Amino acid sequence: MVKVKVDMDLCEFHGQCVFIAPEVFRFEGDDLVWTEEVPEEERARVERAAKACPQLAIRIE
């Protein structure tokens, strides 16, 4: 499993992660919600989402 962390102090809700990996990241109202553990098969997509984040708020462990 891949652990996904988002630093909400850095996040500015640009939504790039939502567009790239909607199965992991989504908006619920004014909040960003994400799946904290995703299958290894999703690693490449989550890595692309992390790299696309303008604030570099996404971390993968």
> Distance between alpha carbon 52 and the CA centroid of its chain, in Å?
10
The separation between the first and the last C-alpha atoms of the chain, rounded to the nearest angstrom, is: 9
- Predicted local confidence at residue 54, as pLDDT: 97
- The whole-angstrom distance between residue 14's C-alpha and the CA centroid of its chain comes to 11
Q: What is the pLDDT of residue 40?
A: 96
Both tokens of 6, joined, read 């988002």
Task: Please give the sequence-ordered ranges of beta strands (E in DSSP) within the chain, or none if there are none.
Answer: 2-6, 25-28, 31-34, 37-38, 58-60
Residue 1's pLDDT band (cuts 50, 70, 90): very high
Instruction: Quickly state the pLDDT bin for 46 (edges 50, 70, 90).
Output: very high
pLDDT tens-digit series, residues 2-43: 999 999 999 999 999 999 999 999 999 999 999 999 999 999
Tell me what pLDDT residue 41 has: 95
Which domains does the chain carry?
2-60 (3.30.70.20)
